[in-house]
Structure 1
Amino acid sequence: MHPDTYLQLHRIRAAELQAQAAEHHLALQAKRPRDLRTRLGWTLVEVGLRLAAAPNPVPAV
C-alpha cells in the first residue's frame, strides 16, 4: 500500500475514534447520577465488592 494512502486511512480512522470517544464521554456525563444517595449507594457496593474479592491469607502450616 502506498504510504500516503496508509497515512490518509490512519487519519480517517483516528478522527472516527475521537468522535466515538467524545460521543461516549457525553453519554456517560448525561447518565451520571447526581443524587448524593445514589453515589453513596454505589460507593458502598464498590467497597463491598472489593472486600468480598480480597484474597484470604492462607495460614502457614
Structure 2
Amino acid sequence: MHSDTHLLLHGLRSAELRRYATESGLVPAASRTGLRTRLGWALVDLGLRVLPRHPARTSAVGTA
C-alpha cells in the first residue's frame, strides 16, 4: 500500500475511534487534556498500531 494512502486511512480510522470514544463517554471532557490523558491516548494509539489487523494471517518473513 502506498504510504500516502496508508496515512490517509490511518487518519480516518483514528478520527472514527476518537468519535466513538467521545460518543461512548470513554473520553473525559475536552478541558481535561493533561499529560496523563495525552499519554494514555498515545499508548492506545501505539497499541492499535502494534496489534495485527488480521491475526489469522501470517507474514512470510525473509521470502522474496
TM (normalized to structure 1)? 0.41
| Larger Cα-atom Rg | 1
TM (normalized to structure 2)? 0.39
Q: Which has the higher helix share?
A: 1
